[in-house]
Structure formats: C-alpha cells, structure tokens
C-alpha cells in the first residue's frame, strides 16, 4: 500500500498566498459592485417605505464627494436638516456619479437649497430625501456655461 505524502503547513501557506494574489482583484471588483447594488436596492426600498409618510421642508446643509473603493465611480453625499416637533432633525442623501466633476457640480448646485423631506411620524429621526425630488429640482435649475 502506498503511503500518503505529508504536506506541511508552510507549503499550504505558500499555495494560499498565490491563490490570494490571483483572485484578490477580481474579488475586490465584485465586492465593490455588490456594494453599489445593495446601496441602490436599500435606497429604493427606503423610498417605497416612505411613500405614506408626511413631508416637511428641509434644507441642504453641506455636501461632499468621495471615490467609491475598487470602482471608478464617485459618491456625492448631501447632509440635510428639517424641523419637526420643536427641534431639528438631520439626515443624509447619497447619489452615485461616474465622473468626479459631475458629482462636485451636483453638490455645488444643491448646497443651501430647500426641498421636501419625508419623515417617519413615529420616529422623526428617520427621514428620506427622494430621488424624484432631487431630479425635479435639477431639471428646474438653469445650467450655466
């Protein structure tokens, strides 16, 4: 009967290191796109849940642009506030862009604008700034140059 060869853990570690090098970038790429898909799905779900919520006027306080890891896309994040039950509440809205210039222009256009914010009556800290509200505002804003 033939003996089974013994493989030391050092050899397994060596083989794993090569496997990791071969599959690291494709896995990171897939992970980045999966993150984008999940983010889009959650935003759609939140907007659908908020359809029955009341709305109030809110104001865009600030915005920032950041690159999305392992992709060539950029994320514009707007911070907004709204007043309900004698105090201010805060939320954020994110939107993806393929170009950094477009994301920065979006943030610049939206700064200090007043928009309708939907909030959950039982938990006013939970709010949604809907995509369609943003799109309507951008369509009505004249473009310069």
pTM: 0.69
What's residue 31's pLDDT? 83
Spatial distance between the Cα atoms of 120 and 115, rounded to a whole number of angstroms: 16
* pLDDT digit string, tens, across residues 37-79: 898 898 888 888 888 899 999 999 999 999 987 778 899 999 9
63, HSE (Cβ side, Cα atoms, 13 Å): 22
* pLDDT digit string, tens, across residues 84-127: 888 999 999 998 888 999 999 999 989 999 999 999 989 989 99
Q: DSSP strand E in the chain: where?
A: 55-67, 74-84, 87-97, 114-120, 123-128
Asked if 109 contacts 76 with a C-beta cutoff of 8 angstroms, the reply is no
Residue from 56, 143, 145, 57 nearest 106 by CA = 143
What's residue 71's pLDDT? 77
User: CA gyration radius for the chain?
Assistant: 23
* pLDDT digit string, tens, across residues 12-32: 666 666 666 667 777 877 887
């Amino acid at each position: 009967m033939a003996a089974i060869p013994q493989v030391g853990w050092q050899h397994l570690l060596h083989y794993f290191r090569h496997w990791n090098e071969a599959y690291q970038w494709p896995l990171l790429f897939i992970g980045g796109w999966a993150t984008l898909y999940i983010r889009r799905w959650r935003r759609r779900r939140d907007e659908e849940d908020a359809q029955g919520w009341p709305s109030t006027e809110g104001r865009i306080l600030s915005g920032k642009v950041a690159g999305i890891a392992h992709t060539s896309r950029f994320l514009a994040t707007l911070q907004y506030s709204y007043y309900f039950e004698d105090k201010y509440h805060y939320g954020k809205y994110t939107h993806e862009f393929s170009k950094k210039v477009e994301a920065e222009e979006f943030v610049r256009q939206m700064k200090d604008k007043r928009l309708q914010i939907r909030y959950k009556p039982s938990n006013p800290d939970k709010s949604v700034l809907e995509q369609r509200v943003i799109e309507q505002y951008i369509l009505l804003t004249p473009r310069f140059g």
